[in-house]
């Protein structure tokens, strides 16, 4: 245990920490496996009887491992992290320029959502969700290619769209919860 605590460095990047290549395409099963291995070594439950200093380090490392895992297992966060490692700011806050047809399409979908929610139309809600998933999958495939090719600017643009879609997914979920209650 002690050896493991020393070996893990706080300044390693998430990929290094998990010992996986810094690529968008990732073996998620291996990632989960590695996560469990790491937590088995560093989790505070392993150090409940240890010194306070060790408990502190254990909490820091376990926190670090959790953060890395949450980032790597989400395609969206993983893509953003890869961009950050390459020194590219995805400009979520500042760069809101989107192709007109994308925005028009999104506006239309939002109108459909509002109407479906008001009418309690489950079929249309489900259709919206599955459309969204298809669109997300297509963009994820695209961003995988862009990141692989080192095309950071294009990848950042794709990521901004994905972020947009994620927000729409949250809105659909909120509307569904409203309809349920």
Partner 1 sequence: MALLQISEPGQSPAPHERRLAVGIDLGTTNSLVATVRNGIAVVLNDHEGQGLLPSVVRYFRDGRTAVGRDAEREQARDPKNIIASVKRFMGRGLKDVAHAENSPYDFVDSPGMVQLRTAAGVKSPVEVSAEILKSLRERAEESLFGSEGGHLSGAVITVPAYFDDAQRQATKDAGQLAGLNVLRLLNEPTAAAIAYGLDNAAEGVYAVYDLGGGTFDISILKLSRGVFEVMATSGDAALGGDDFDQRLFCWVVERAKLAPLSAEDTRLLLVKSRAAKEFLTAHGEARISAALSSGEAVDVTVTQREFQEMTQPLVAKTLGPTRKALRDARLDVSEVKGVVMVGGATRMPHVQRAVGELFRQAPLNNLDPDKVVALGAAIQANVLAGNRGEGEDWLLLDVIPLSLGVETMGGLVERVIPRNSTLPVARGQEFTTFRDGQTAMSIHVVQGERELVSDCRSLARFELHAIPPMAAGAARIRVTFQVDADGLLAVSAREATTGAQAAIAVKPSYGLSDAQITQMLKDSLDHARDDVQLRVLKEQQVEGERMLAAVESALREDADLVSAEEQGAVRAELDALSKTLSCTDHRTIRSAIERVNRATEAFAGRRMDRAVRRALAGRKVESL
Binding site for partner 1 (CB under 8 A): 36, 39-40, 43-45, 48-49, 59, 62-63, 66-67, 69-70, 173-175, 177-178, 180-181
Query: Cβ closer to partner 1: 44 or 82?
Result: 44
In the complex, the smallest distance separating the C-beta of residue 36 from partner 1, rounded to whole angstroms, is 5
Give the nearer residue to partner 1 in terms of CB position, either 60 or 154. Answer: 60
For 151, phi and psi rounded to 5 degrees? Answer: -90, 75
Report in angstroms how near the CB of residue 62 gets to partner 1 at its nearest.
5
- Enumerate residues 6+ apart whose C-beta is below 8 A from 175: 113, 116, 117, 125
Contacts of 27 (CB under 8 A, 6+ apart): 20
Token couple for 42: 């560093």
Which CB atom, from 23 or from 167, has the smaller least distance to partner 1? 167
CB 51, min distance to partner 1, A: 13
Task: Please give the span between the terminal C-alpha atoms of the chain, in angstroms, as a whole number.
Answer: 49
Distances in Å between the alpha carbon of 34 and those of 102, 143, 166?
38, 25, 27
Smallest distance from the beta carbon of 85 to partner 1, in angstroms?
18
Nearer to partner 1, 70 or 96 (CB): 70
For 22, the 3-state DSSP assignment is coil
């Amino acid at each position: 245990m002690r050896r493991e605590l020393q070996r893990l460095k706080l300044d390693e990047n998430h990929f290094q920490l998990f010992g996986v290549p810094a690529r968008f395409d990732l073996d998620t099963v291996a990632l989960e496996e590695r996560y469990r291995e790491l937590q088995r070594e560093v989790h505070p439950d392993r150090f409940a009887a240890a010194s306070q200093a060790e408990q502190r380090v254990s909490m820091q490392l376990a926190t670090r491992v959790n953060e890395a895992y949450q980032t790597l297992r989400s395609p969206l966060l993983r893509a953003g992290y890869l961009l950050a490692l390459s020194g590219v700011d995805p400009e979520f806050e500042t760069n809101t320029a989107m192709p007109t047809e994308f925005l028009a399409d999104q506006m239309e979908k939002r109108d459909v959502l509002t109407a479906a929610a008001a009418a309690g139309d489950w079929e249309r809600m489900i259709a919206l969700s599955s459309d969204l998933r298809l669109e997300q999958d297509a963009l994820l495939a695209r961003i995988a290619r862009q990141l692989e090719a080192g095309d950071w600017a294009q990848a950042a643009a794709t990521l901004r769209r994905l972020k947009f879609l994620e927000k729409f997914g949250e809105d659909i979920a909120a509307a569904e919860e409203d309809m349920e209650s």
